[in-house]
C-alpha cells in the first residue's frame, strides 16, 4: 500500500475574520493538492482565530453552518480532504445554547466524515467560553487509513491517545493552539505519544502573537508529523508554513510488529486508574 501524503497548515490566519481565513484555507488546499497531498490539516480554531474573547459567541456556527459549506466546496474543488478547527454552536433545541471548541473532517468530495468536540479545556479562556465534549474517540476512514481526531490539550493526556490506539487509529490529527512556554509538548511529548501508541500523530499549530491582556498568547509553531518509531518525520519552524509529510503504512506495520507495548499491556492492573 503506498504512502499517503498529508499537508499541515501552520498559520494563525487573521483572527476574527472568517472570510479571510477561508481564503487562506482555499489557497492552502490548492497548494496541498498540487503537492500531492490527500489531506490538509488546519490549526485549532482556525476559521475564527483562537484568542477572540467574547467574539467566540458572535463567530460560532453550527457544524453544518455557512463556513462548513464553504470548506466543503473547497475540498470538493481541489479533491482533497480538509480538517479544520472552529467554535461550534450547539443546535440541540432541547438544551441551552452551548459552544464547543470543535473540529470537522470533510472528505475530498466535500462530504462530512467526522465531527469532534474538545474534551479537555485548557485555561480560563477555554473554560469560560466552551463546553467540553464527551466523546473521546472519533474516527473516520481516509485513503486506506483509520484517522482519529483530538484537539491540542487532549493529546497531553496519555489515556486519551491510548484509547485511540486500542480503537485502531493509524493517524491521529491534532489541530492545536500551543503557546509559549509549553513548546516541549510539540518537541518531546508528541513524538513520545506516537511511539508509545504506535501511530502517526499530525500536530498542527498556530503562530505568532494573538490576543491582549490576560488572553494574550505567543504561539510557538513547531508543527510536526511524528511517526510510530518515535521519530519526527516532518517539522515546521516558527512562522507560517505549509508542511508536507508522508504516512507510510509499511513503516506502521513494521513498527507495530516490533514494538510490544500494546501486546504487553495488563489491563487488569489498571482498573483503579480513574
Phi/psi at 126 (nearest 5 deg)? -70, -40
For residue 218, indicate whether it is catalytic: no
The grid coordinates listed for 15 are 483572527
SS3 235: strand
Report whether 165 contacts 145 (CB < 8 A): no
Q: Which position among 38, 42, 61, 118 bears the catalytic label?
A: 118
Residues 6+ apart with CB under 8 A from 87: 45, 48, 56, 59, 60, 61, 99, 100, 101, 102, 129, 130
CB count in 10 Å sphere of residue 92 = 9
For 107-118, the DSSP string reads: -TTS-EEEEEE-
Of 38, 61, 88, 152, which is the active-site residue? 152
Selecting among 38, 42, 44, 156, the annotated active-site residue is 44
Cα separation, 219 vs 45, in Å, equals: 13
44 is catalytic: yes
Q: Catalytic amino acids?
A: 44, 118, 152
Amino acid at each position: 500500500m503506498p504512502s499517503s501524503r498529508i499537508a499541515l497548515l501552520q498559520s494563525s490566519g487573521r483572527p476574527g475574520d472568517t472570510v479571510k481565513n477561508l481564503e487562506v484555507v482555499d489557497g492552502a488546499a490548492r497548494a496541498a493538492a498540487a503537492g500531492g497531498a490527500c489531506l490538509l490539516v488546519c490549526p485549532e480554531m482556525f476559521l475564527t482565530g483562537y484568542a477572540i474573547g467574547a467574539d467566540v459567541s458572535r463567530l460560532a456556527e453550527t457544524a453544518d453552518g455557512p463556513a462548513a459549506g464553504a470548506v466543503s466546496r473547497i475540498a470538493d474543488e481541489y479533491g482533497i480532504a480538509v480538517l479544520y478547527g472552529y467554535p461550534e454552536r450547539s443546535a440541540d433545541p432541547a438544551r441551552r445554547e452551548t459552544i464547543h471548541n470543535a473540529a470537522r473532517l470533510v472528505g475530498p468530495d466535500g462530504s462530512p466524515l467526522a465531527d469532534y468536540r474538545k474534551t479537555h479545556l485548557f485555561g480560563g479562556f477555554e473554560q469560560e467560553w466552551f463546553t467540553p465534549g464527551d466523546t473521546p474517540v472519533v474516527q473516520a476512514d481516509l485513503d486506506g487509513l483509520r484517522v482519529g481526531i483530538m484537539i491540542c490539550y487532549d493529546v497531553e493526556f496519555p489515556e486519551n491517545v491510548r484509547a485511540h490506539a486500542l480503537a485502531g487509529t493509524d493517524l491521529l490529527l491534532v489541530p492545536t493552539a500551543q503557546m509559549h512556554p509549553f513548546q516541549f509538548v510539540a518537541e518531546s511529548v508528541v513524538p513520545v505519544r506516537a511511539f508509545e501508541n504506535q501511530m502517526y500523530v499530525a500536530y498542527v499549530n498556530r503562530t505568532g502573537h494573538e490576543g491582549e491582556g490576560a488572553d494574550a498568547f505567543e504561539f510557538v509553531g513547531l508543527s510536526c508529523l511524528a511517526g510510530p518509531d518515535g521519530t519526527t518525520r516532518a517539522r515546521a519552524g516558527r512562522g507560517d508554513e505549509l508542511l508536507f509529510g508522508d504516512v507510510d503504512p509499511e513503516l506502521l506495520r513494521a513498527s507495530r510488529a516490533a514494538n510490544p507495548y500494546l501486546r504487553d499491556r495488563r489491563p487488569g492492573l489498571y482498573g483503579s486508574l480513574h
